[in-house]
Amino acid sequence: MKQLSRISPKIIISGGGTGGHIYPAIAIADEIKRRLPDADILFVGAEGKMEMEKVPKAGYPIIGLPIAGINRGNLLSNFSFPFKLIKSLNLASKTVREFQPDIAVGTGGYASGPLLKRASKRVPIVIQEQNSFPGITNKLLAKSAAAICTAYEGISQFPQEKVHHTGNPIRAELFQNLPERNKAVESFGLNPEKTVILSVGGSQGSRTLNNAWIEGINELEKNNVQLIWQTGKLEYQKIKEQTAKDVEGIHISEFIYNMQDAYAAADIIVSRAGAMAISELCLIGKPVILVPFPFAAEDHQTKNAKSLVDKNAAIMYKDDEVPLKLVNATLDLAQNENHQKELSDSIKKLGKPHATKEIVDIILNLI
């Protein structure tokens, strides 16, 4: 291996469209910069998508491609797709030619397709797959990849000789040294002597979870169970007005900025099953009930959740089961300490605290 501490490698990182692709990319970049402060890192994303805002805020330059995803629900709207793809491939070629990277890294999302396709003709490429079922872009790039870093074992769609089961790149230190539980509970205005449920519906919230808690909040109160409830922006005001005046033992927030305190306060967590959320939950090690978002691409959230359920590391309910089952299932789990311990012990075994380090090891060894 080269003495990388003495050189300034040039690295392109591409991925985006959602936070699930962007934040792993930023975590990888941050770890490279921590080791090699002089490394020259360039991001490539999709014009108009959230990476064009999030990446510069993290301190990295980014170039946007005019690429867009295929709209499966309205095929006529895809008329311009071939033109955007050709334009994106040409701009990707120009970017690779001018930047002259030593390696290219993709974290999924359609923006990474044109860039990594063009980069693979010149340099090694590494792809990172967050989900238990790979997205279209990473499946198409797999044959060209020098290495494939996965969060889950046994992904049959990839050439196994290239696969490294690393876990997802997250800032693990944020989820390992949690604050003391009772102080965290009090910070939400709740009673440390009562059970606390944390409900997380993703950055936009979950209408399914919100409706379940609206219907069941009085049952939680009767059973001395409290709720930290992340509603999302759209329904926050309505829920605040409907419930906060009448019910004690709930903390309602449209978005939870200090997840460390929320995770520390929780005795049980109810969550969607996005890849990055699950990676965090495995490090936290609390009992979890997962409700996969049914409209995720390739139904990957259900596959993510099942990978935990099969190892007795989580309970899962489908979206359409939630209205009848979620509240009672949560109360049953709150009263069953043995089941809580089983779930907690099992999910802790799946945590990958060194994922980011291992992925960057692979990247730097390929340069």
Tell me the per-residue pLDDT of 140-189, one tens digit each, with 9 for 90 and over.
Answer: 999 999 999 999 988 999 999 999 999 999 877 777 789 999 999 999 99
Tokens matching residue 328: 């009672």
Domain covering 4-168+353-366: architecture: 3-Layer(aba) Sandwich (3.40)
| pLDDT average, residue stretch 106-135 | 94
Count Cβ neighbours within 10 Å for each residue of 22-57 and write b for 16 or more, e otherwise: bbbbbbbbbbbbeebeebebbbbbbeebbbbebbee
Tokens matching residue 296: 């995720």
DSSP state of 75: G
Coil vs helix vs strand at 242: helix
Q: How far is CA 3 from CA 38, 102, 105, 305, in A?
A: 13, 14, 21, 41
Condensed to tens digits (0 to 9), the pLDDT of residues 76-112 reads: 656 676 788 899 899 999 999 999 999 999 999 888 9
**Total-model pTM:** 0.86
Residue-wise DSSP of 151-169: SSS--TTS-GGGEEE----
Q: What is the pLDDT of residue 202?
A: 75
Give the residue extent of every domain in the chain. Answer: 4-168+353-366, 174-348
Q: Strands, DSSP E only, in the chain?
A: 10-14, 40-46, 62-65, 103-106, 125-129, 147-150, 163-165, 195-200, 225-230, 250-253, 268-271, 288-290, 315-316
Q: Centre a 10 Å sphere on the Cβ of residue 227 and count the other Cβ atoms it contains.
A: 25
Residue ranges for the known binding site are 18-20, 131, 171, 203, 256, 301
Q: Do domains 4-168+353-366 and 174-348 have the same CATH topology?
A: yes
Condensed to tens digits (0 to 9), the pLDDT of residues 211-220 reads: 999 999 999 9
Q: Centre a 10 Å sphere on the Cβ of residue 323 and count the other Cβ atoms it contains.
A: 14
Q: Centre a 10 Å sphere on the Cβ of residue 173 and count the other Cβ atoms it contains.
A: 9
Condensed to tens digits (0 to 9), the pLDDT of residues 314-359 reads: 999 999 999 999 999 999 999 999 999 999 999 999 999 999 999 9
Q: Which residue is associated with the tokens 């049914």?
A: 294
Instruction: Report the amino acid identity of residue 221.
Output: E
Q: Centre a 10 Å sphere on the Cβ of residue 5 and count the other Cβ atoms it contains.
A: 9
Please tell me the distance from the alpha carbon of residue 209 to that of residue 198, in angstroms, as a whole number.
Answer: 11
Q: What is the pLDDT of residue 112?
A: 93
DSSP state of 109: S
Question: Residue 357's closest CA among 10, 14, 5, 30?
Answer: 30
Q: Which residue is associated with the tokens 């979620």?
A: 326
Residue ranges for the known binding site for UDP-N-acetyl-alpha-D-glucosamine are 18-20, 131, 171, 203, 256, 301
Please tell me the distance from the alpha carbon of residue 11 to that of residue 343, in angstroms, as a whole number.
Answer: 40
Q: Half-sphere exposure of 197 toward its Cβ, with a 13 Å CA cutoff? A: 31
Q: Half-sphere exposure of 151 toward its Cβ, with a 13 Å CA cutoff? A: 31
Q: Which CATH superfamily is domain 174-348 in?
A: Glycogen Phosphorylase B; (3.40.50.2000)
Count Cβ neighbours within 10 Å for each residue of 265-274 and write b for 16 or more, e otherwise: bbbbbbbbbb
Please list the helix, strand and coil fractions of the chain in percent, rounded to the nearest 5, in that order.
50, 15, 35
Q: What is the pLDDT of residue 205?
A: 80
